[in-house]
Amino acid sequence: MPKFKTVFVCQNCGYISPKWAGKCSNCSSWNSFIEEVESSEEKNAKKSVSAKPGSPVAINDIVQNVFLRMNMHFSEFDRVLGGGLVPGSLVLLGGEPGIGKSTLVLQSVLNLKNTKILYISGEESETQIKLRAERIGIHNTDCFIYTETNIEKILATIKSITPDIVVIDSVQTVASADLSSSPGTVSQIRECSRQLQEYAKESSTPVILIGHINKDGDIAGPMSLEHIVDVVLQFEGDNNHFYRLLRPKKNRFGSTYEIGVFEMTNDGMKEISDPGNILLSGDNTGLSGVAFGTIAEGSRTLMIEIQALAGNAVFSAPQRNATGFDSRRFQMLLAVIEKRLGLKLVQKDIFLNIAGGLKINDPAADLAVISAVISSYFDKPIRENSCFIGEVGLSGQIRPVSFIEKRVGEASRLGFENIFISASQKSEIKTKVKGVVAVTDIKDFASKLLK
Ligand code: TYD
Ligand code: MG
């Protein structure tokens, strides 16, 4: 009879503690311990490592395989993967529930020709998947659907069907019968992914894992899972908006600067190859508190719309609320405005929103954030067709940003006629662009900003 012992495992980092604790002493996350049962057999299995010596290979003797990447139907998807799906790779696609992960992957594999697919779902029934498939169109008849959650059964089926691509939807639903903890716990996710990775590597079959993300935006459960897999992609967007961004967080086979842009339509995902101004909300002429900026991600430059509202403070401690923008950076920018321009922001509740539900962390958006706040504070619209590209330092100076020429080019292409940039970068703009305004610090800038 195996002996059972309960341990508490941090669902964020996998740290094991004999006692429950409110805060993990390893990764400092709160309320993340879950009781899991570890049998003595499991423990012994972990200890029994084969002691035979291995055979390391001299680095010069390693033959490099030229891997042929597989196309995933969407060129946006391929670009984010670094040029297609690498055989034998383990790809994790994370995102909030309902964002369209299943739709994106199913649609990709249903459009591949001469490729055998095994789509394993632990979340939806076969008929539900068929319904979705009919909606998005079935062009690949070699696509098999299997609804199962037991990893041993799943692996046996994969080995008998030998598909070209395996999809697991989702990794939180699969579980190994050898472990006593429930599906979705760190130990289950880690064990199942390890087995899938082993299969992927030995058979050179790519495996796509779909995963949920938790309230902090991390892939639920497993920080450890992100280490195991080769590629981590995040599918983002707002459920109330139609466009979706696909971003790599980690990629062993390509850059992590690329993003893919999609639109959710009635019949599945549509890729957007010229996303330039999709994030802008329309006609804003004459409105105060609206400013435009850019974000640059890999080969893509997107225009963003920043909205600010500065109203009289209701309570003695004024509210500062930023949606889609780092709140600490927002506080810092407000402090800069207060100190360098002398505006009395302390009496104002200030709200900031990035239109389209986007989350940004590009410092080049600082100048646009400041512009929106100043415009709302004075309740005056910004000069028409203005766009703001610059990082703002604590002393109020406007600092240079990356890819300036590309950003300016894109803003000009979309019809912006006053493009504010840091004076230190004026000489970097080689192509002739109309309406570039060079500014040195926010005092100089504020005088040119409003109508
Ligand atoms: P889904 O792919 O199930 O999301 P996830 O796997 O990330 O949880 O997408 C679910 C949402 O997408 C659902 O609200 C309906 C919508 N949807 C469309 O708008 N068009 C479509 O063609 C499909 C299949 C789904
Ligand atoms: Mg799903």
Ligand 1 site: residues with CB under 6 angstroms? 95, 97-103, 132, 135-136, 264, 266-268
Any residues with CB less than 8 A from the CB of 398 and at least 6 apart, and which? 367, 390, 391, 392, 421, 422, 423, 439, 440, 441, 442, 445
CA of 327 to the centre of ligand 1 (A): 30
Name residues of the chain where pLDDT drops below 50: none
Closest atom of ligand 1 relative to the 95 alpha carbon: 7
Q: What pLDDT shows up at residue 4?
A: 66
CA of 90 to the centre of ligand 2 (A): 18
Q: What pLDDT shows up at residue 48?
A: 56
Ligand nearest to the CA of 105: 1
Ligand nearest to the CA of 266: 1
Q: Whose CA is nearest to atom 23 of ligand 1?
A: 268
How does strand 4-10 pair with strand 33-39? antiparallel
Closest atom of ligand 1 relative to the 135 alpha carbon: 22
Cβ pair 273, 262 in contact under 8 A: no
CA of 150 to the centre of ligand 2 (A): 18
Closest atom of ligand 1 relative to the 96 alpha carbon: 7
Closest atom of ligand 1 relative to the 169 alpha carbon: 6
Can you state the angle between helices 327-341 and 442-449, rounded to 10 degrees? 90
Q: What pLDDT shows up at residue 227?
A: 84
Cβ pair 328, 312 in contact under 8 A: no
| Span between the terminal Cα atoms of the chain, in Å | 81
Q: Whose CA is nearest to atom 13 of ligand 1?
A: 98
CA of 146 to the centre of ligand 1 (A): 19
Handedness of CA 69, 70, 75, 76 (dihedral sign): negative
Peptide bond before residue 371 is cis, with ω within 30 degrees of 0? no
Ligand nearest to the CA of 101: 1
CA of 262 to the centre of ligand 2 (A): 17
Beta-carbon count within 10 A of 97 CB = 10
And the tokens for 34?
A: 């879950």
- Rounded to 10 degrees, the C-alpha dihedral 306/339/321/234 comes to 60
CA of 230 to the centre of ligand 2 (A): 21
pTM listed for this prediction: 0.77
Q: Whose CA is nearest to atom 8 of ligand 1?
A: 98
CA of 100 to the centre of ligand 2 (A): 7
Alpha carbon separation from 208 to 14, 78, 222, 293, 447 (Å, rounded): 22, 13, 16, 35, 53
